[in-house]
Structures are given as structure tokens and as C-alpha cells.
Amino acid sequence: MIVIGGGLAGLSAGVALAEAGWRVHMFEQRPFLGGRATSYVLPNGEHVDNCQHVTLGCCTNLEDFYRRVGAQDKIKYFDRLLFQDPQGRTGVMRAGMLPAPLHMTGSFLTFAPLALADKKCIASALLDILRGKGHTGDLDTPGGISMLQWLEKRKQTPRAIERFWRVVLVSALDEELDRTDARFGVDVFWKGFLSNRTGYRMGVPAVPLAELYDGCQAEIERRGGEVNLRMPVRAIHFANGALESIEFDGGRRESAEAYVFAMPHQALAELLPQEIQKIEPSLAHLGNIRVSPITGVHFWFDREVMQEPFVTLLETTTQWIFNKTALYGANHGSGKVKGQYLQLVISASYDLLQKPRQEIIDLCLAELRHALPRAREAKLLKATVIKEAAATFSPQPGVDRWRPKQQTRVRSMFLAGDWTATGWPATMEGAVRSGYLAAEAVLRVAGTPKRILQPDLPPDGLVEMFT
Ligand SMILES: Cc1cc2nc3c(=O)[nH]c(=O)nc-3n(C[C@H](O)[C@H](O)[C@H](O)COP(=O)(O)OP(=O)(O)OC[C@H]3O[C@@H](n4cnc5c(N)ncnc54)[C@H](O)[C@@H]3O)c2cc1C
């Protein structure tokens, strides 16, 4: 069995298939595993994440994957989300004493960055989501409707849109509200904030991302497989409509009983010959899946400038500030460096793509110094900007019709990747779901079906009373 791509989709498929008794041969083009959700070591020994990655309590498959590979203790969960507006007013979101779906009521009522009129219209829209169990009739509009249209239909105030819906959804979905299918937006609130008390809890890795995957290679090798790094697949060979082999540099070829292609959709599209689209028409539409950017800004200060583990800024270019020094603790990477290491995240960062790096640093530094008074006195020792132009696929209205299933009509060819049909947006959870679905498809075709996909968190508390 061959898996191409060592990101979360390939790793989750590979580990699940190894556990099911297959000898997995994984080929990854880069020198390390983890794909987009990984970290690098700088020449001075510091670890830098490709970009901060976070998970939520509702990401049940990612949690299952971390457990399988022994990484579950490397994720710290937080049940308090802190927001701060440009006037310095803060608001906290956390579950109180009440059962779901009322668990956030207390913090919502006292959330200072929103006024009463904003809260009223938000509550009414949330009730709509609740009554439909995460589905409202207008989501079935052919071709989808945008999240902005969905919100406008529900008469949300501009401040409610900007300081509530946009803040949560642009970070969760990496796209602006007018380019996001409302189905994804509604799902975030249903699964993350309404249906369950723990769905919103934010999990942040306490180690550099690459360290989360230490157990994957061991698991694949323990079952007789191998992980080959620096091995880009250069061509895919088909004969008589079936997959025959894959080719590497130097003309070396490998073949197997089954292949899981777990690479980004753009990379796969480049390798596929046109005739294969006649057998599997869904592969003809990969070009319709657009991508959206994320920019990460890394700041190293000479002293501590924030104590919170993370904070969300409202109405600024900077969306999140993560206190990497606190999150890693004293024993990891930047713990060796004096002072404080912060990572800022800007999702759907279209406006920054063309801007020079220094301009981005100046802009974010000014915002950070406005938000964190202690940063005004501190010296910035070093700064880096990492722009990912194709960070995730864009969850544009109707995008699901272009996402192929994991099982294809080409014999022995299976697909995985956050962009395949999972129903989820481009997230680590979506990638792991795709890997598990691909593994299930391989086992089904081999005549040894097995359930690997984990169920969602069940609705709890009083949720059923509202639906
Ligand atoms: C900046 C940024 C921030 C993000 N933040 C979050 C977050 O906070 N939370 C969250 O849930 N998600 C986040 N995501 C999204 C998340 O990283 C992805 O959805 C997920 O990692 C995708 O996994 P994947 O396995 O589908 O794809 P990838 O991770 O892209 O894996 C594909 C692998 O295939 C390899 N490959 C490509 N071509 C070839 C070839 N020819 N031969 C061999 N190998 C090949 C690549 O090197 C790569 O390792 C973020 C993404 C980015 C970029």
C-alpha cells in the first residue's frame, strides 16, 4: 500500500491502515512530516511553527488521531477565550454553570465589546441554528449562499457582524464572510458553541508542531511499512484505465495494491493525465477549488509583554496573538531564548500578500503595542513574516460540489486531503477525517470493512428541548 504525502491526511490514513494490518509505504517530498501543520528548526536551534495551529473540542477525529500516535498529552486545552477591542475593553467567552446550549449565556451577557442591540440579534440568529440542529432552510439554496447573505437575512448589526461572526469565522474558515458558504459558518456555531458544552474548548499544541508526529513513523514501521522523506512523486502512470505505478526522480518506479494520494489538490492536478478525468469526472474540477491565504507574524521581544496564553483582537489587521513562550513552557524551543516569543495570525490575509514584509511588521507591531501596553517599552529583537498564499482551500459558496470523494472510479486509486469531500472546511480535523475515510474506502474495497471515522460530540444538556 502506497501513501503519497505526509501531511495529516496521509499520516492519518497511513497509521489507520498500518493498524489494520497493511504494510504502508509513505512518500513525502519534504524532509519532514506534517505538511502544512508542521514546524521548522532555525539555524540558532529555535523551533518555529509554519503557523500557529489550534484545534477545538468538537474536532473528534483529530483528537482520536493524536491519541493513536501518543500525542494527546502534547495538546493543552483552554476553556477561556479572551477578546479585546481597540478601546481596551475585554470580553471573555467561557462555559458557566448552565447546561448546553445555555452554557455561554453568562459570558455572552457580560461581553463588553458588544452592545445590547448586537446581542439581541446574535441570540436570535443562534436560536435559528439551534432550532434547525445546525441547519437552516436557506442553506439548501442551489449553489449555496454566503455567510454574509445569511447574516443580512437575519438583520445582524454591523458591529455584531464585525465583532462576533467575523471574528470567529474568518479565523475558523480562513475566508471573508462574503466568500464563505453559510453552511460552514453555521456548522462552526452549531458544533463549536451550541450543541455541546465542550465543543468550543481550544486546544493549542504545547510543543513545536513537528513533534506531534513522532509516533506516526514508528507506528507505520512497527507494522512492517516505511516512511520515505525527500521523495517527491514526479509522475503517475495509468494503463487501461488502471493505476500502474508512480515515478520518482531518476525514473525509479513503485507499484502497490492500493494508492492513497494525500497531496494538495493543486499538486495532484498537475500530475494527472487528462484521460483519467473521463473515468473519474470529479477529477476534472479540481481547478474550481480556490485557495485563500494566511499570514503569520513572529515577534521576539527582550522581555515579557503579555501573560495571557492568547488573545483575540477585534477590528485590527492582527486577529490572534499567541504567547508561544508560555504555551511551550520552559523546556521547548523558544524557552531557551530570553524574553518572549509571540506569534500573530491573520487569516484570509489577501490585503497583506502584496505588502512588503517590513510594512506588515510595522503595522502589526503598532497594533500589538496599542493592545499590550508592556510592549511599548520592550525592544523588538527579531521579527519574521511567513505568508502562505495557498494556506487552505477557500470555503466559497457551493465549493462542496467540486470536492471528490476518497474512493475513485479508478481501480486502486484513493484520495485524501482536507480538500476532499468530508463536509468539513480546510482544517486539521478535515484532513484527518479525509485520511480515515480513505482508509475506510481501501478496507471496504479489499473486502475487510472497518469503521474508523469517529462520531461528532453528541448534543448534550438541554439541546434537544430547543430543536
Ligand atoms: C498558515 C496556516 C495556518 C493554519 N491554521 C490552522 C489551524 O489553526 N487549525 C486547523 O485546524 N487548521 C489550520 N490550517 C489548515 C491545516 O494546516 C490543513 O488543513 C491541514 O494540515 C491539511 O493537511 P493535508 O494532509 O490535507 O495537506 P498538507 O498538510 O498540505 O499535506 C500534503 C503533503 O503532501 C506533500 N506532497 C505534495 N506534493 C507531493 C509529491 N509530488 N510527492 C510527495 N509528497 C508530496 C506535501 O509536502 C505535504 O507534506 C492552517 C494552514 C496553514 C497553511
203-242 tens-digit pLDDT: 999 999 999 999 999 999 999 999 999 999 999 999 988 8
Q: Which atom of ligand 1 is nearest to the CA of 418?
A: 26
Atom 37 (ligand 1) nearest CA? 263
The Å distance, Cα 35 to ligand 1 centre, comes to: 4
Does residue 34 carry a pLDDT above 50?
yes
pLDDT per residue over 167-184, tens digit each? 999 999 999 999 999 999
**10 Å Cβ neighbour count for 415?**
30
Q: How far apart are CA 312 and CA 119, in angstroms?
A: 19
Does residue 67 carry a pLDDT above 80?
yes
Torsion of CA 236, 6, 424, 47, to 10 degrees: -140
The pLDDT value given to residue 336: 53
The pLDDT value given to residue 329: 84
Q: How far apart are CA 307 and CA 340, in angstroms?
A: 10
What string of DSSP letters covers 153-191?
HTT--HHHIIIIIHHHHHHHHSS-GGGSBHHHHHHHHII
The Å distance, Cα 137 to ligand 1 centre, comes to: 33
**pLDDT mean over 405-428:** 97
pLDDT-based confidence at 274, cuts 50/70/90?
confident
User: Mean of the per-residue pLDDT values for the chain?
Assistant: 96
Q: Which atom of ligand 1 is nearest to the CA of 33?
A: 49
The pLDDT value given to residue 115: 97
Which residues touch 187 (CB under 8 Å, ≥6 apart)?
134
Residue 331 and residue 434 in contact, taking contact as beta carbons nearer than 8 Å: no
Residue 188 burial (C-beta neighbours within 10 Å; 0-12, 13-18, 19+): buried
Torsion of CA 300, 302, 308, 312, to 10 degrees: -40
By C-alpha distance, which of 290, 296, 340 is closest to 318? 296
By C-alpha distance, which of 22, 367, 429, 455 is closest to 225? 22
pLDDT-based confidence at 345, cuts 50/70/90?
very high
- Ligand 1, from 263, 298, 344, 349: best to mutate by most atoms within 8 Å of Cβ? 263
Residue 256 and residue 263 in contact, taking contact as beta carbons nearer than 8 Å: no
Atom 14 (ligand 1) nearest CA? 427
**pLDDT mean over 38-42:** 89
Residue 207 and residue 39 in contact, taking contact as beta carbons nearer than 8 Å: no
Percent above pLDDT 90 for the chain: 93
- Ligand 1, from 32, 52, 53: best to mutate by most atoms within 8 Å of Cβ? 53
**10 Å Cβ neighbour count for 354?**
8
Does residue 11 carry a pLDDT above 90?
yes
Does residue 187 carry a pLDDT above 70?
yes
Q: How far apart are CA 351 and CA 215, in angstroms?
A: 38
Alpha-carbon torsion (300, 302, 305, 307), positive or negative: positive
Measured in whole angstroms, the distance separating CA 14 from the mean position of its chain's CA atoms is 19
Atom 29 (ligand 1) nearest CA? 35
**10 Å Cβ neighbour count for 450?**
14
Q: What is the residue type of 430?
A: G
pLDDT per residue over 303-339, tens digit each? 999 999 999 999 999 999 999 999 998 655 544 557 9
The Å distance, Cα 37 to ligand 1 centre, comes to: 6
Residues forming a β-bridge with 49: 39
Question: Which stretches does DSSP call E strand in 231-376?
Answer: 235-239, 242-247, 253-254, 259-261, 291-301, 310-313, 320-323, 340-347
Q: Are strands 2-4 and 320-323 parallel, antiparallel or unpaired?
A: unpaired
Place of cell 477525517: 433
Q: At what angle do helices 116-131 and 182-189 cross, to 10 degrees?
A: 100
The pLDDT value given to residue 334: 47
Tell me which residues have their CB closer than 6 angstroms to ligand 1.
4-10, 27-30, 35-37, 50-51, 53-55, 232-233, 262-264, 267, 294, 296, 388, 391-392, 417-418, 426-431
Q: How far apart are CA 338 and CA 334, in angstroms?
A: 8
Q: In what order do the strands lie in the sheet with 310-313?
A: 90-93, 81-84, 310-313, 320-323, 340-347, 291-301, 380-393
Q: How far apart are CA 152 and CA 87, in angstroms?
A: 26
- Ligand 1, from 11, 25, 36: best to mutate by most atoms within 8 Å of Cβ? 36
Residue 66 and residue 260 in contact, taking contact as beta carbons nearer than 8 Å: no
Q: What is the residue type of 274?
A: Q
pLDDT per residue over 108-160, tens digit each? 999 999 999 999 999 999 999 999 999 999 999 999 999 999 999 999 999 99
